[in-house]
Every structure is written in C-alpha cells, then in structure tokens.
Structure 1
C-alpha cells in the first residue's frame, strides 16, 4: 500500500505514521506536513506544504495512494468559530476533493472523537463541525470512515501538544492496567498503536460500519 498521513506531528498522526512505517504491506508513506518531521525511514517521504486549503500543487505526490489517514485536528478551546471550522472542516474538505479526483476508490480514515454530532443539529459547536466533517468524508468515498476515539494513550514515546491532554495522560497512566482489565475499558480507552492499526485494517479489509466508536476501533485493530 501507499499511505498518506496528514497531521503526522500530532498525537494521533504520529500513531498513524509509526504503524504505517512498521507495516510489512506498506511500501511507501507520504507525510504531508507544514514543517519537516524529525523522522527518517526508507519508506517515508515528507512533503512540506503550507496551504492545506489547496493541495493542487502536491497532487502528483499523492497520486497512486491507497489510503489516507487524517490525524490533523485542533482543540476548539480558545479558537474562534471561523478558525475552528476552517481547520476542522475546510482542510479536510480540500483534501477529500483532491484525493477523490485522483482516486475515488481510496480509503479515507478521518479521526474525530467521542461525542461527535453526526446530526449536525446539536447545541455543541465543535461536535456539529466534526459531525459535518465526518458526513462529508463518508459521502465522498465508498471507503470513507470516521474514528471516534475516547481517551487516547500515547505510544512510541509521542506526547500530545495539548497541555491539558498531557496532564490527563500523566494522571491516568497508573490506572491504565486496571482499566484494561475491566470490561468497560475498551469502550473508553485506546492508544495510538490501536488507532494506527485500525486505520490500516480498514484499508485491508473494510468494515460494515462507517463510524467506529472507541470499542470498534480496538476491535478493528485486532485487540
């Protein structure tokens, strides 16, 4: 497979990137980034691109891809509604538009989060915007999927860039072995390895559902 990873510098994107590089059936990984990542691997090619609202200049780099793993995202906290929608919906829509023209059979895996509002009618703005983005991805590709993780634990040594998330990760880490012993844990907790493997497995085998909640992600990852 040829895999595109967008958002590789963040928590989710790093999981996508690392698991794609480890996968035996992935021959090439294209990381679309604003600034060069401190990662080197024979399979990896980094494409530095500044304008995520227009991927036309890098279409040739994206051609032939089998899978796009979308890990780019921001917190709505402290961000204007217009900026949040531009990044969350606008960037994703621009990528979907370009990639659909290049390969309509591409598998596109978009990460939103638990609590996303697919009705687009709820009171919480971020949930509506994420829901609209999910719906757009799923409508655009026969193999379009939305992942809704709950609490995501970092692996491969990566740390979230969001300070509140970093503190929560440190606080929760002693509880993780206990949580994983509980039957309820798969519905609440996942990690970046599971997210990466789930995304790859969706390209390999597909899934009957288009929206995968936390438990579905863990099951699709093979855990």
Structure 2
C-alpha cells in the first residue's frame, strides 16, 4: 500500500483532492502539510503543521510514494511579488526536492493554462518557472496539470470569481479545437483526474490541459 503526500490541502483543489485520496484504497496513509490544523479526523490522515521555512525540519516525516502539490495564492491575498513567488514557486520546488530525496517517485502538480517564461505577466511567468524547476527535480514520473477556470465552492468569498464561473458555465461550449484548453473545469473533476494520473507509470513527463484531463476521466469510467 502506498503513501500520498499533499501540499495545499486547505485550498479548493487541495481539499477536494484530500477527500479523493482518503477514499482511495490504494493509499494506506495520506500526509498533509498545512499552516494550521484542518479540523479533519481520519484513520489514514496525518497532519503536519508547517510552511516554506519550517519544511526542512519536517523532512524525516515527509516519506511517501506519490506527491501532490496544489499550492498557490492570489494577488489579493499576497500583493507583494516576492512573497507571492515564494508561495507559487519556492515552496513547490522545495517540497518536490525534499520528497524526491526521501524516495518519492511520482509528482503531481497543479499549474495553470498558458505558462510562458517570457511573458511580461508575472503570474504566467511564475507558473512557467515553477513547472520548469519542479520538473528538473527529476521524479520518475511527473504530471503537470494546467487547468483554466476552476469551478467549485471556495471557503473564502470571491464575488468576481463567482461571476466568472457562471460565465464560463455558459460559454464553455464555445471553446473548441485548440481553444479547448481554456474551458473551465469542475474542481471535483480535476481532483479525480490527478489521482488517476498518479497511478499512470508509462511516461516520465506528462502535461494535462482540459482535453487530456477529460481523457483521464473517460478512462476511469
């Protein structure tokens, strides 16, 4: 039986992914690293309290097989670009490095659609640099997910995002062909696809946009 390690369990995708992992018989234990206790109790769940700076002190406990990273922030919550970069880039890279050194062989990372290292947009450039540096850690299997609009109920109130989700539900069918990667996706679907991907051991490096994510879900049905 395998062990899963999850970083970012308090966010929308992380919380949904946690439920998927706890319900999956393939995993005997699910280790999560969060800044504060989740208030969730489950016989398979092990909660570690930590962040970017305290992560090295938790290294001996970060031993598992499949690593899932759903870390991220927003400009509203983290307006300072240096701190934003620490959350979106430095933390995932450090988490990847530590778990790989401890023997994990599979990494599943949530990125975003359209990453570009040459972009003038800080968010897009950061995502590209995170993908690049996480991939360079050298897991036997790396799975990068690039969703567009994430649809689901968040704990925090985001009125504009709620409005945009409603818009995406209406216009999703318009995105066809090469534009399909911009389709919005339900958070529950993304979480399920990530678990499916972690079990695929064929290729060393994999990228999933909307079409590929839907393909994973179809394989499961």
Task: Flag whether TM exceeds 0.5 (same fold).
Answer: yes
1:110 is displaced (CA, Å) by 1.1
Distance 2:173 2:39 in 1: 32
68-77 or 1-10, which moves further after superposition? 68-77
Consecutive unaligned residues in structure 2, runs of 5 or more: none
2:201 matched residue in structure 1? 206
CA deviation after TM superposition for structure 1 residue 160, in Å: 5.1
What is residue 84 of structure 1 aligned with on the other side? Answer: 84
Deviations 1:168-203 (A, max 9, x none): 33x348x46x95799679641322222222222222
CA contact (8 A) 2:143 2:198 kept: no
Residues 24 and 131 (structure 1), Cα distance of their counterparts in 2 relative to 1, 3 Å cut: same
State how far apart, in whole Å, the 2-side matches of 1:29 and 1:131 are. 28
- Cα distance change, pair 41–166 in 1 and its aligned pair in 2 (3 A): farther
C-alpha distance in 2 between matches for 1:20 and 1:181: 33
- TM-score, normalising length from structure 2? 0.84
Distance 2:16 2:49 in 1: 19
* Conserved 8 A contact 1:32-1:48: yes
Q: What residue in structure 2 maps to residue 151 of structure 1?
A: 149
Query: Is 2:13–2:188's contact at 8 Å kept on the other side of the alignment?
Result: no
- SS of 2:199's partner is helix
Length, aligned pairs only: 212
- CA apart distance, 1:70: 0.7
3-state SS of 1:210 partner: strand
Superposition pairs of residues 65-104 of structure 1, within 5 angstroms: 65-77=64-76, 79-103=79-103
Alpha-carbon distance between aligned partners in 2 of 1:135 and 1:91, rounded to the nearest angstrom: 14
Q: Which residue of 2 aligns with 1:108?
A: 107
203-212 vs 35-44, greater mean Cα deviation? 203-212
Could you say which residue in structure 2 is the equivalent of 1:61? 61
Mapped to 1, the partners of 2:175 and 2:148 lie a distance apart of 15
Matches within 5 A, 1:15-26: 15-26=16-27
Q: Distance in 2 between matches of 1:106 and 1:32?
A: 18
Distance in structure 2 (CA, Å) of the matches to 1:221 and 1:36: 31
CA contact (8 A) 2:4 2:27 kept: yes
- CA distance 1:24–1:183, change in 2 (3 Å): farther
Change (3 A) 1:195 1:61: same
Point out the more displaced range, 188-197 or 3-12: 188-197
Match of 1:205, SS? coil
Q: Which ranges of structure 1 fall in alignment gaps of 5 or more residues?
A: none
- Of stretches 105-114 and 53-62 in structure 1, the one that deviates more from structure 2 is 53-62
Q: For residue 69 of structure 1, report the CA deviation from its aligned partner.
A: 1.0
- Select the residue among 106, 115, 121 that pairs with 2:118: 121
Say yes or no: does 1:11 pair with 2:7: no
**1:183 and 1:40, CA in 2 relative to 1: closer, same or farther beyond 3 A?**
farther
Q: Equivalents in 2 of 1:193, 1:186: separation in Å?
A: 19
